[in-house]
């Protein structure tokens, strides 16, 4: 799906197919999956320890995994740069779909 970088979407339902089209390479989806899993583990560690550095690690590992996937495998710009809230939501949906087997990873 070819969509200009600054195209506007009327709804999240319209955005999500575009988001998936930006994650066609399985290695990119895997990088997202591992980054998000690492972020979840870091948030759990923060809750256990109340050490704020774990939240920084959660942010870096979550976005770092995604950006590695885009820059090295997909060779495209992460959608979060243009659609931060839609992308954040879409990433969690994509994660859940990979976790439950609805989307291959």
Instruction: Give tens-digit pLDDT for 11-64.
Output: 999 999 999 999 999 999 999 999 999 999 999 999 999 999 999 999 999 999
Question: Which pair of tokens denotes residue 25?
Answer: 């390479």
Backbone angles phi, psi at 80, to 5 degrees: -65, -25
Which ranges of 22-99 would DSSP assign to H, the alpha helix?
Answer: 26-49, 53-68, 84-99
Confidence at 104, pLDDT banded by 50, 70, 90: confident
Q: What is the pLDDT at residue 105?
A: 80
**Alpha carbons 100 and 92: distance in angstroms, whole number:** 12
Q: Could you count the other beta carbons within 10 Å of the beta carbon of residue 102?
A: 10
pTM > 0.75: yes
């Amino acid at each position: 799906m070819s969509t200009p970088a600054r195209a506007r979407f009327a709804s999240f339902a319209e955005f999500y197919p575009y988001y998936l089209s930006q994650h066609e390479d399985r290695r990119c989806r895997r990088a997202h999956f591992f980054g998000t899993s690492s972020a979840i583990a870091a948030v759990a560690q923060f809750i256990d320890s109340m050490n704020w550095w774990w939240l920084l690690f959660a942010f870096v590992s979550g976005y770092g995994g995604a950006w590695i996937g885009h820059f090295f495998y997909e060779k495209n710009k992460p959608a979060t740069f243009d659609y931060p809230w839609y992308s954040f939501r879409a990433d969690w949906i994509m994660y859940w779909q990979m976790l439950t087997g609805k989307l291959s990873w």
